[in-house]
Amino acid sequence: MLNFRNNIKYYIKSISEFSLIALFTTSLGVFPTQAQIINFETTPSSLTPIDNEVLSNIVGTGSYDIVFPGGITTVLFGFDTDGDVATLERTAHFEDRTNADFMNVFNTSQIAYTIGKPVTSADTDLSNGSIGGNWLIRSPRTDAEDGTLDLFGTDNYFVVQYSGDLPNSASGQLWDLDNDEIYLIEALNASQTVIGSQTLISAGSGENPGTANGKETLFSFNEIEPISFIRITGLQKGTGGGFAFDNFNATEPANETIPEPSSLLGLFVIGILGVGSAFKCRKEHNKSTC
């Protein structure tokens, strides 16, 4: 009976030790946390968007809260029309990829998001793995939305505003970047000083216009100064000119390793196997060396 009690105590002690090891390695970031990507499949209120619905540019009603290792950051999306990214004068709109509303209205390929063929059909997501989902956000396109906003106009910018705890990394996607379009993506600090920049040139520039139709073009910032704003400027319109934004990771660069939930199960199994091995070693320690 005494031997049985000792074995039980040893077994419990081993489980505790392996649990502490798992907790310790996770806290050190050995096992990275799940990235929180804003894919606009839901509104900030966790509801399914309505096609052409306004995404409010007011913190609280239009902002998304993101938990990350550095704390909690709040992001807000909209358009700046006076050169001051601290104020957003125009709102973004949700766009349903599964209908053809703007194609029917404009009957043109310059419509701010991916187009189907023929131009009166719904969007076609041609990305690898169909990562676009059903929704994205876009610039205003009709009189009912206070007029078309041309991101290639003077002092017109798409802006992501941060508040709360500020991250050092971020990434996102512009969609349907083709037909010689060029965009400038800038990360700014609290003083609105540029701390990182990238130029996105359409994959279809020059010889193959339309190459990026229905696909994403990625931007990414990694380990720079704390980010307070991301500003997107249209540099060259070409024969394109629409603006579509999706899959924004407010706190991580692109290509981060994102573990599946099964990773945690795997860690638990490894711990159990380790405990079993230790228990076996204790049981047979007088017979062999483990």
Question: Looking at the domain assignment, is residue 223 inside a domain?
Answer: yes
Q: Which domain holds residue 136?
A: 37-249
Give the mean pLDDT of 161-190: 94
pLDDT tens string 229-241: 999 999 998 777 6
Question: Looking at the domain assignment, is residue 259 inside a domain?
Answer: no
Give the CATH number, domain containing residue 154.
Answer: 2.60.120
pLDDT band at residue 97 using 50, 70 and 90 as cut-offs: confident
pLDDT tens string 258-270: 444 444 444 444 4
- The confidence score (pLDDT) of residue 28 equals 39
Res. 118: pLDDT tops 80: no
pLDDT band at residue 143 using 50, 70 and 90 as cut-offs: confident
Spatial distance between the Cα atoms of 158 and 254, rounded to a whole number of angstroms: 20
- The confidence score (pLDDT) of residue 104 equals 46
Indicate the average pLDDT of the chain: 76
Q: How many domains does the chain have?
A: 1
Question: Looking at the domain assignment, is residue 160 inside a domain?
Answer: yes
Secondary structure of residue 279 in the 3-state scheme: helix
Give the mean pLDDT of 136-158: 86
Question: Looking at the domain assignment, is residue 61 inside a domain?
Answer: yes
Give the mean pLDDT of 140-158: 85
**Lowest mean pLDDT segment, chosen from 41-50, 52-61, 130-139, 237-246:** 237-246
Are the C-beta atoms of 248 and 172 separated by less than 8 Å?
yes
* Sequence-separated contacts (24+) of 59-68 with Cβ below 8 Å: 59/163, 62/91, 63/163, 64/38, 64/250, 65/164, 66/36, 66/38, 66/250, 66/251, 67/36, 68/33, 68/36, 68/165, 68/167, 68/250, 68/251, 68/252
Q: What percent of the chain has pLDDT over 90?
A: 46
Question: Looking at the domain assignment, is residue 272 inside a domain?
Answer: no
Q: How far is CA 58 from CA 6, 255, 279, in A?
A: 62, 31, 58
pLDDT band at residue 284 using 50, 70 and 90 as cut-offs: low
